[in-house]
Structure 1
Amino acid sequence: MFTVKVSEAIIAHCINQIEHYNFGQRCTANGNKDQQLTGIIGQTVVMDLFGFNYINGAEGFDDGIDFIFNSKKIDVKTMGRTTDVRLTYTNNFLKLQDYLQTEIYIFCSYNKIKKEVTVCGWIAKEDFVSKRKYFPKGSIRIRSDGTNFPTFSDLYEIDNIDLNPVTSIDDLKNQLNFL
């Protein structure tokens, strides 16, 4: 895992995008504005690290493909947190996104207090399908701190430990170059 400080320019850009565009284009479970902002911040940070332009909501729904690198369709999935991420933490993925043509998932966590994005790791879709755990809507999930919540939608989970580990953006790029 590696962590980067989110610039004020990225935060301001993402807030502007959320104010002007609806990033919740699914039939259900679109996330509130705060959840959408978390996702847009994670995606924009990773796109910036790869040398791509910031996200542009005027381009419309991206079909689950945030960007293409080494001819691979990549989707950045980001969870908001108020603590530093740990190897034992879990990443959520809504089942209703499973049909999208993404080939690689990069999982991130956004620490809202420190304004930092941690790139937790990546996984190819076929490996994700074999390693993930399924929880139907309404399942009670228990966090590592003992608190719990019912799932609001059919949900898959994958732990950070099950992702391909990365130590830097160069390490991530190098790994994706060998696919």
Structure 2
Amino acid sequence: MSGAAVGVAPRSSSALMVVLTGPPDVRLLARTRADLVGGDLPAQAYHAAADLPLPEAEQLVRRWADEATASVRTSLAEVSGVVAVGIAAVVRQVPSLDVVLRSHPLLHMAEGQLSREVIAEAAAQLGLRVHYLDPKGRHDPAAVERTVALGRAAGPPWRKEHRMAALAALGALGVSSPR
């Protein structure tokens, strides 16, 4: 498949993104960090919702998700020729909000899952395929070497997050597959 893929390494309130061209010539076109929300919204929706009554907490998390989805959709729409999005993350099942709000470890887990969901939803709204890459899984050694070479050519910064986002983009383009 030709075109470009955006590889994403999500965090709870931001995402590191790399853009790769599709085969046969795989090149790094861009790398950036994007805030998922801004303005009056908290960086971490679930943490901010923890002290609110349940209806207000639900409203805050929903508003955060809606605004983050719109922000990511805008970022993805600005990428010329993008056909797919690779997300370096594992999808997790999140318990109900009332359960999450009573557990600090679940707050962190829910924050991460929310960021993954808004990225996938933004891609779906644009008609882009979504591919997930388990960052801790086994990866094709040739694809890993390709991401290292892309980073060498691009220069710093090129950290593990960049490599994982690039691996996710390669997977979204069908260039590599997990072993």
TM-score relative to the length of structure 1: 0.27
Per chain length, whose mean CA-contact separation is higher, i.e. which structure has more relative contact order (CA < 8 Å, sep 6+)? 2
Answer 1 or 2: which has greater strand percent: 1
TM-score, normalised relative to structure 2: 0.27
